[in-house]
């Protein structure tokens, strides 16, 4: 078997503020096979790359993302909370201001499309349940505008969509049946069959699940799934998932992971 794919979780988010363009471009410069991104809807219906429901942890704003317009979010500082940029500046690395700004999914799609090698993008829908249906519809509409809902082997950018919600993945499969999908798992739901439903072919267990039960990886693969594991930052976890034979590794630190794989 070849090496597993390496995905940068929220960009190279150990070194730079998560979900900023700077973190994504760094991951791609480092040679990651792909990047992972969480998306939410703004009050005026734009898809933005933000993990938390609230703004408080990763910006100087407060309250839920979904109560702000895109224009309001664009005024906020999404980078100064993170120690990475200052540490890099001490090392004389020049950063532009993209580590401070909110990133829209539209802008991220443009940026990854501009990379002159094949790149994969994992998009995870995060949403309060009242926006659920709209998030998936808007995501598929945006991917459609970028010509990305029907994967083509010759296309340099391959998009995969994912969620912890089986309902959300099912909706995505109905809206865009040829887009690859990942069902994320932070625990094993009672009654989950290893052959996943609705044509889902990639399972995304968390590392805690794999630590507790490494045999889950070959069992999921034997049932016809690929297995992408998140979030693999610790060297001993990396050895564990390599020994288990995973197909994809999602990590905040793609550089040391790639060095371990490719020397």
Q: Which residues bind ligand G3P (CB under 6 A)?
A: 9, 36, 38, 51, 124, 184, 204, 230-231, 250
How far apart (Å, rounded) are the C-alpha atoms in residues 251 and 9? 5
Task: Please write down the long-range contacts of 246-249, taking CB distance under 8 Å and 24 or more positions apart.
Answer: 246/4, 246/210, 246/217, 247/4, 247/5, 247/202, 247/221, 248/4, 248/5, 248/6, 248/7, 248/202, 249/4, 249/5, 249/6, 249/7
Closer to ligand G3P by Cβ: residue 99 or 228: 228
Closer to Ca ion by Cβ: residue 39 or 142: 39
Q: Could you tell me where the DSSP H helices lie in the chain?
A: 21-29, 70-73, 84-90, 105-113, 132-145, 166-175, 207-212, 216-222, 235-244, 254-262
- H/E stretch holding 190: none
Residue 220 contact partner, candidates Ca ion, ligand G3P, none, CB within 5 to 8 A by sort of partner = none
Closer to ligand G3P by Cβ: residue 142 or 162: 162
Q: Is 18 in the site for Ca ion (CB under 5 A)?
A: no
User: Which of 15, 18, 30, 124 touches Ca ion by CB under 5 A?
Assistant: 124
CB of 71 to Ca ion, least distance (A): 25
Residue 230 contact partner, candidates ligand G3P, Ca ion, none, CB within 5 to 8 A by sort of partner = ligand G3P
CB of 163 to Ca ion, least distance (A): 9
CA 5 to chain centre: 13
Find the catalytic residue in 9, 46, 82, 127. 9
CB of 250 to ligand G3P, least distance (A): 4
How far apart (Å, rounded) are the C-alpha atoms in residues 184 and 227? 10
CB of 85 to Ca ion, least distance (A): 22
Size of the site for Ca ion (CB under 5 A): 2
Size (the chain), residues: 263
CB of 124 to Ca ion, least distance (A): 4
Residue 184 contact partner, candidates Ca ion, ligand G3P, none, CB within 5 to 8 A by sort of partner = ligand G3P
Please confirm, yes or no, whether 51 is among the known catalytic residues.
yes
What SS3 class is residue 64? strand
Site for Ca ion, residues 20 to 39, rule: CB under 5 A: 38
Closer to Ca ion by Cβ: residue 30 or 38: 38
- H/E stretch holding 8: strand 5-9
Find the catalytic residue in 19, 46, 51, 82. 51
Binding mask 67-86 for Ca ion (x = CB under 5 A): --------------------
Return the number of other C-beta atoms located less than 10 Å from residue 251's C-beta.
29
Please confirm, yes or no, whether 9 is among the known catalytic residues.
yes
How far apart (Å, rounded) are the C-alpha atoms in residues 42 and 47? 7
> What residues act catalytically?
9, 51
* Interacting residues with Ca ion (CB under 5 A): 38, 124
């Amino acid at each position: 078997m070849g090496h597993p794919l390496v995905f940068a979780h929220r960009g190279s988010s150990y070194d730079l503020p998560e979900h900023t363009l700077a973190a994504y471009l760094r991951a791609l410069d480092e040679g990651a096979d792909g990047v992972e991104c969480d998306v939410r809807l703004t009050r005026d219906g734009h898809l933005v790359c933000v993990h938390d429901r609230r703004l408080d942890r990763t910006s100087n704003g407060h309250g839920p993302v979904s109560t702000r317009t895109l224009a309001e979010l664009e005024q906020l500082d999404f980078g100064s909370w993170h120690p990475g940029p200052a540490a890099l500046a001490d090392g004389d690395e020049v950063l532009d201001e993209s580590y401070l700004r909110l990133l829209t999914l539209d802008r991220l799609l443009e940026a990854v499309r501009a990379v002159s090698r094949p790149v994969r993008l994992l998009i995870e829908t995060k949403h309060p349940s009242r926006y659920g249906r709209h998030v998936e519809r808007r995501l598929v509409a945006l991917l459609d505008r970028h010509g990305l809902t029907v994967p083509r082997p010759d296309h340099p950018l391959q998009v995969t969509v994912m969620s912890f919600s089986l309902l959300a993945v099912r909706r995505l499969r109905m809206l865009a049946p040829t887009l690859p999908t990942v069902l994320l798992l932070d625990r094993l739901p009672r009654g989950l069959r290893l052959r996943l439903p609705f044509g889902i072919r990639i399972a995304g267990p968390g590392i805690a699940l794999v630590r507790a039960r490494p045999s889950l990886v070959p069992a999921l693969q034997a049932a016809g799934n690929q297995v992408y594991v998140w979030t693999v930052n610790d060297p001993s976890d990396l050895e564990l998932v390599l020994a288990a034979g995973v197909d994809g590794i999602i990590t905040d630190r793609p550089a040391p992971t790639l060095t371990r794989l490719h020397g």
